Amino acid sequence: MKEREKRPTAEAHNGPHAQPALKTFWHYPYASLVKERRPSNWDVVVEKILSLAPRAVDLLLLRRKGARRHDHQARVMRGMWPLLTDVALLEFKGPTRGLRPRDLVKLLSYGWEYSSLDDSAVAKPSHLSLVLAVPKKTPVLLREYDSCALQPQPLGGGYVRLTGSVYTMVVVLLDQVADAERDDFLRLFTHDRARVNDPLALRWAQAWIRKARTMQDLKHLEGFDDLVQEFIDSLGVDELLQRVTPEQRLAGLDPEQRLAGLDPAQVLEHYASEQHLASLDPEQLQKLHAALDKKLRGQ
């Protein structure tokens, strides 16, 4: 009896920990058939894993059914909402890493992937919008348009409609939108953060920094230290000192650092004589007693 042939495996290409999706029986003999009867100049990889982790788009935007449209009430990216269908996927590229090659292709793949879900909120792909929010227009973005055969149509104010896709596609150039809509909150996510002057936006950023410092998953992410440093630089030393208590200013300093620049007399004048004596060890007290005794005898 021949040894039973093992079903095709993708382990060699996908790694030992990759988990293939559930298949029916028919997938395995079909893969075997294709492998056996392929042209000699072709390789066939069975169950090629396309993602080592579950993929998630940054934001799923859902316009509420039956509700009156209030797109004009938006307080961020105010020109975007009227451009969208009732369901949209938004992918954000931050100022630290920015847009990279194939990121637009990835967004398109998210569209097809979301449209194929059983719980998708769209009946067909044309009912879905795809939004790419980037800090600014770059050569990489222009090359992405060409590689995806999409035609940009600038709408003004930092918004660009892309044609050539089954989806409604919009690109949001955050630096231009922040300028056009005078939005310092949005400017925090661009390369022009040094221009943020709105005190409410600065306090919002400060609150997020404090929150992130208490969350291990956030404070170690790329870009956090840059944001903290830029926030400090934007305030200036004098303004920062006004925002912290004396205890916070001294926290983490060694005793020597705390007393640097002070004369001993300046330090001691804040303490009573009893406190001075209580801080001395027996040997120091003995030396002090001997010195006082000598001084008194000299008188």
Distance between CA atoms of residues 39 and 35, nearest Å: 9
pLDDT of residue 239: 59
Alpha carbon distances (Å) from 21 to 18, 50, 153, 199, 238:
10, 11, 39, 50, 58
Residue with the two structure tokens 């294709």: 34
Residue with the two structure tokens 């060890």: 281
Instruction: Read off the DSSP letter of residue 153.
Output: E
Distance between CA atoms of residues 199 and 234, nearest Å: 12
Q: What is the largest CA-CA distance in the chain?
A: 119
Tokens for 265, please give them: 């007399």
Tokens for 246, please give them: 């004396």
- Residue 5's pLDDT band (boundaries 50, 70, 90)? very low
- Residue 193's pLDDT band (boundaries 50, 70, 90)? confident
Mean pLDDT of 142-156: 97
Tokens for 277, please give them: 């004596």
Mean pLDDT of 127-154: 96
- Residue 118's pLDDT band (boundaries 50, 70, 90)? confident
Q: Would the pLDDT of 75 be above 80?
A: yes
pTM value is 0.67
- DSSP for the chain reads -PPPPPPP--HHHH-TT--PPP--TTHHHHHHHHHHTS-TT----TT--S-SS----SEEEEPPTTSPP-GGG-SSSTTTGGGS-SEEEEEE--TTT---TTHHHHHHHHHHHHHTSTT-S-SSGGGEEEEEEESS--HHHHHHHHHTT-EEEEEETTEEEEESSSSEEEEEEHHHHHHHTT-HHHHTTSS-GGG---HHHHHHHHHHHHHHHT-HHHHTSTTHHHHHHHHHHHH-HHHHHHTS-HHHHHTT--HHHHHTT--HHHHHTTS-HHHHHHTS-HHHHHHHHHHHHHHHHH-
The enclosing H or E element of 298 equals helix 282-298
- Residue 211's pLDDT band (boundaries 50, 70, 90)? confident
pLDDT of residue 37: 82
pLDDT of residue 123: 87
Length, in residues, of the chain? 299
pLDDT of residue 65: 84
- Residue 264's pLDDT band (boundaries 50, 70, 90)? low
Mean pLDDT of 200-220: 71
pLDDT digits (tens, 9 = 90+) for 17-47: 444 444 556 666 677 778 788 877 787 777 7
For the chain, the average pLDDT equals 78
Say if CB 249 and CB 241 are below 8 A apart.
yes
pLDDT of residue 234: 57
Other C-beta atoms lying within 10 Å of the C-beta of residue 209: 16
pLDDT of residue 70: 87
Choice among 6-10, 39-43, 96-100, 263-267 with the minimum mean pLDDT: 6-10
